[in-house]
Amino acid sequence: MKKINVGDGMNKSSWSFGGDTYKTFDKHVSKSVPMYSVGHELILEVSDFFLVNNSIVYDIGCSTGSLLELLADHHKEKNVTFNGIDVEENMARSAKQRCGKYKNINIECSSALDVDFNKSNLIISYYTIQFMHPSSRQYLFDKIYNSLEWGGGFIFFEKVRAPDARFQDIMTQVYNEFKVKQGYSAEEIMGKSKSLKGVMEPFSTQGNIDLAKRAGFSDIMSIFKNICFEGFLAIK
């Protein structure tokens, strides 16, 4: 299959987080996802309500470990164990290098579907579940709910589909205009869109809430929204 230009010096036939993607991932995702760093800052602030001494945190799809590093610094006065999970070997290796100075950060190269979670106080998924096959998502939500301590939190950010075709058309055009302002060419925007076919499958806002409800969560709210990107907080 012919490789296509998806921007930031990356060429893909089909989007993947493997290979050498880790080298330019932070730059690419910060330009591609509106207010990416703002979402990180929001997670830090929300984490204060769930983490005390001896707390346990999981970051599903930790990529290069940037959020884990921020969390460890933010809670450096507490005895908190942070666990990063990423299915891609190079991403996990990059996270280990980045977080190597933190004795309380553990990185595991595995699928979250296969990890045996310890009882935890906070679980985070930052734009990760949208890349999992839809048939696996309910299992993951169920697993997360069962792994949390009572009163524990699940923070998940996802690209979301609009509730109908008219809104979807508006959001798609607004998002494409955002990417143009970030310096991406029409060729790169179309290339990225093509590379994501069959790789990323966003659910709607309601679809994500339904996953959480079926898992057992009853306290759920949206804590962030920008164009077609949304953050949720669910409390057990």
Between CA 167 and CA 165 the distance in angstroms is 6
What pLDDT tens digit does each residue of the chain (236 aa) get?
556 455 545 555 555 577 787 788 888 899 899 999 999 999 999 999 999 999 999 999 999 999 999 999 999 999 999 999 999 999 999 999 999 999 999 999 999 999 999 999 999 999 999 999 999 999 999 999 999 999 999 999 999 999 999 999 999 999 999 999 999 888 888 878 887 788 899 999 999 999 999 999 999 999 999 999 999 999 99
Domain ranges of the chain: 4-235
Does residue 226 sit in helix, strand or coil? strand
pTM: 0.93
pLDDT score for 20: 80
pLDDT score for 133: 94
Residue 211 C-beta-side C-alpha neighbours within 13 Å: 24
Cβ-contact 51, 80 below 8 angstroms:
yes
Tokens 């809104």 identify what position? 167
Strands in 229-235's sheet, in edge-to-edge order, are 105-109, 80-86, 55-60, 120-126, 148-159, 229-235, 219-226
Q: What is the CATH number of domain 4-235?
A: 3.40.50.150
